[in-house]
Amino acid sequence: MKKFRKIAFPLSLVCFFIFGCKTPALPVFGRLENLSVGKVERSQTVVTAVIQYYNPNDYQLTLKHIEAEFFLENKLVGSSVLDTTIFLPKRDSFLLPVSVKLNLADVLSNGLGALLMGEANVGVKGFARLGRNGIFIRLPIQYEGRQKIQL
């Protein structure tokens, strides 16, 4: 009987976390705001923007970390790391500041034609650490689509 008691509590906790917690849904992309190009240097520039997202979950989430790579016409052009804690309200929109270091040589050689046409195939791959109540999980970020670009 004592062996059962020693095993029952940890086993019930494991069952609770496996069956009681579902993976949160990733926030849904809304729109891009305040796009600005920073100081253009020899081979790099920093592009900043604010992205509006919507949290479709029934609970508040905490975003702790994002790492992402950005692609233009399926060629890597830059990366971004966000290490700020942001609270995402339940079933509401929120703003996410983004700063991306772009390699100008890659942008010009791979996507200049697409940029001049006003539309480009844009992709993002990476991961985000989302959680609540101190429990965080690593969720993949993957987006690819045609975007209108105004120069």
Burial 69-101 (b: 16+ CB within 10 A, else e): ebbbbeeebbebebeeeeebeeeeebebebebe
Look at residue 99 and tell me whether its pLDDT is greater than 80. Answer: yes
| Position with higher pLDDT, 136 vs 43 | 136
Joined tokens for residue 88: 């995402």
Q: What mean pLDDT is predicted for residues 18-35?
A: 71
pLDDT of residue 8 exceeding 80: no
pLDDT given at position 19: 46
Percent of the chain scoring above 90 in pLDDT: 11
Q: Tell me what pLDDT residue 13 has.
A: 55
Mean pLDDT over 85-107 rounds to 85
CB-based contacts of 104-107 (< 8 A; 24+ apart in sequence):
104/40, 104/43, 104/44, 104/45, 105/43, 106/72, 106/75, 106/76, 106/77, 106/78, 107/72, 107/77, 107/78
Domain ranges (residues) in the chain: 24-148
Out of 3.20.20.10, 2.102.10.10, 2.40.30.10, 2.60.40.1820, the CATH code matching 24-148 is: 2.60.40.1820
Quote the pLDDT of residue 112. Answer: 65
For the stretch 53-84, pLDDT in tens is 899 988 899 999 999 998 878 888 888 898 88
Quote the pLDDT of residue 89.
92
**How far, in Å, CA of 128 to CA of 2, rounded?**
43
pLDDT in tens, 109-141: 766 666 677 777 778 899 989 888 888 889 888
Burial class (CB in 10 A: 0-12, 13-18, 19+), 120: buried
- 136 forms beta bridges with 131
- DSSP H helices, the chain, are 2-20, 104-117
